[in-house]
Structure 1
Amino acid sequence: MNATTVTPLTTTDAEALISAARAAAETAGVAVSVTVLDAGGHLLAFRRDDRAVLISGETSTRKAYTALQLNAPTADLVDLVKPDGPFHSLPTALDRPLLFIGGGLPIHRDGRLIGAIGLGGGAPEQDHGFATTALEELAG
């Protein structure tokens, strides 16, 4: 491999992320949905706990997509889309499934964006925490 080649996010990585996020959520007593997207925004893995609210599947996917497209944690973007924020029109300006609620994180390897994870089902702070825990475990 040359210096510019970065190993993409694999299905094995995605399954590890889902397992780690679900374990963190289960420890907290929260039923969640977890979505993992590759660098192109394609679904690599998805899991909704039986007890998770149905909309959590959609919110987890939208959070992952938003984190990927903007290469930023969704929790860091919430204030930017408020009525007085610089990106206030972004959620409705594009025909894209963006969601500016905590729980989405970009995934990097060797400084390159390789995908994103999104969590839905808990409070935004909880979802962000579960996603962070999953990324920490993937990093080893």
Structure 2
Amino acid sequence: MTSISLRSIDAATAQTAIAAAAEHARSLGLPMSIAVCDHAGLLKAFVRMDGASQISLGIAQDKAYTSAATGLPTHRWHDFIKDDAPLLHGFVHTPRLVVFGGGFPIVEDGAVVGAIGLSGGHYSQDMECARAALKAIGAASND
């Protein structure tokens, strides 16, 4: 039998990322939902800031899931599919796939160990807050 070892983000690092993203969101005056998932896309930490919309809850989690599952920031997907009609009309119907900004994989030594997703502002603001979280935990944004 052969087995593999997988690395995953720990709870303390996930909470640090959440706190940094929330702090940056507060500085912008934006109530956001912030999700961090593990390497498999399973929720590890989450906060829905006071005043954040209900719809942002699921979108933040789906952005994190998309980035964990694909290893790409969510904003990269639009450029990848926009000029390919079969992908554009079919791929966007994939459950939990998000093709606009706010989700980033968390990569350590070349391996995806988790991901973060934010929702509550314009996607560019979601991206800005996610980058603040990544910086706080020493991860690159890989844009």
- Establish whether TM, by shorter chain, passes 0.5: yes
What aligned pairs does 1:1-140 form with structure 2 within 5 A after superposition?
A: 7-82=7-82, 84-85=83-84, 87-88=87-88, 89-92=90-93, 94=94, 96-139=95-138
Deviation of 1:85 after TM superposition, in Å, equals 3.2
Structure 1-normalised TM-score?
0.88
- Provide structure 2 residue ranges, at least 5 long, that are not aligned to the other structure: none
Identity %: 35
Deviation of 1:7 after TM superposition, in Å, equals 4.9
Separation in 2 of the partners of 1:109 and 1:6? 12
Which of 46-55 and 69-78 deviates more?
A: 69-78
For 2:137, what is the secondary structure of its paired residue?
A: helix
For 1:35, what is the secondary structure of its paired residue?
A: strand
- Provide structure 1 residue ranges, at least 5 long, that are not aligned to the other structure: none
The one-letter code of the counterpart of 1:67 is S
- Whether the aligned pair in 2 keeps the contact of 1:78 and 1:102 (CA below 8 Å) is no
RMSD of aligned Cα (Å): 1.8
Which of 14-23 and 71-80 deviates more?
A: 71-80
Deviation of 1:81 after TM superposition, in Å, equals 3.4
Structure 2-normalised TM-score?
0.86
Separation in 1 of the partners of 2:6 and 2:136? 19
